[in-house]
Amino acid sequence: MNVAMILYFSGTGNSRYVAERLAEMLDDRAVAIPSVKEDVVDASGRSVGIVWPVYFWGIPTMVDEFVRRTELRNFDKVFSVCTYGESPGNASNVLEKRLRRKGINLGSQFEVRMPNNYVLFYDVPDSDEQLRLLNEADQYIDRIPEILADGEYKEKHPLMAPMVTAIGYPWHKHGRRTKRFRVTDDCDGCSVCETACQMGVIEIRDGRPHWKEKRCERCLTCVHRCPRSAIQIGRSQKFGRYLNPNIRFE
């Protein structure tokens, strides 16, 4: 296989970085899932890669809904690559199940460890640790094209992985309430959060961000992209911020 179509979702750039690097290696381009409005995606005989971050040992709602509503046509193979901070649980199998319902076989499932952006409970890794994780991730990503050409691939998971996903993932799927976001007085109404929100749920009103919907993806893009660290959620006030250093955010 030497051509592929890479579809990705990413909050803080890790999955976008993987998607763009893979697209370069596989002679194609990476397309952001939120930008795909068509009901039918025609791969013109190419393989399709789906790249996404693990959320609560499961898949982002954006990816789940995309798979449900979109008809993939004319593809060779379908493979997935998730990025995760500490443990992916059974997340790849969640996507595999969704695709199987649509009659699509998820051939290979790759899982890349990258810096953790979940600042509700944990701090982001320090800069040395970020570098170490990103270097290791590069080595992993660079092997993917060769592995894909050889056949199918799956990571081995601990025995507890399905249980962890069964307990943790519904929490994300049915939670994600926007009322948990707080805006501090450091906010200067710059509107970066409004532009960066891929769900389009943030609106600047009276110089402050407001969440228009009850739920969002909880990708934390707004929290990490805010230039003044003025958007908080959970214990994020105590912790640093993270954006993949290889991505230029506009």
* Binding residues for ligand FMN (CB under 6 A): 10-16, 53-57, 83-88, 114, 116-118, 218-220, 244
Residue (199 or 220) nearer to ligand FMN, CB:
220
Closest to ligand FMN by CB, 14 vs 108, is: 14
Q: Give dist(CA 202, CA 173) in Å, integer.
A: 20
- In the bound state with ligand FMN, the residue whose beta carbon lies nearer, of 44 and 195, is 195
| Closest of 101, 35, 28 to residue 64, by C-alpha | 101
Least Å distance between CB 138 and ligand FMN? 14
| Closest separation in Å from C-beta 114 to ligand FMN | 4
Q: Which is nearer to ligand FMN, 47 or 61 (CB)?
A: 61
* Least Å from the CB of residue 206 to ligand FMN: 28
Q: How far apart are CA 9 and CA 159, in angstroms?
A: 28
Least separation in angstroms between residue 60's CB and ligand FMN is 8
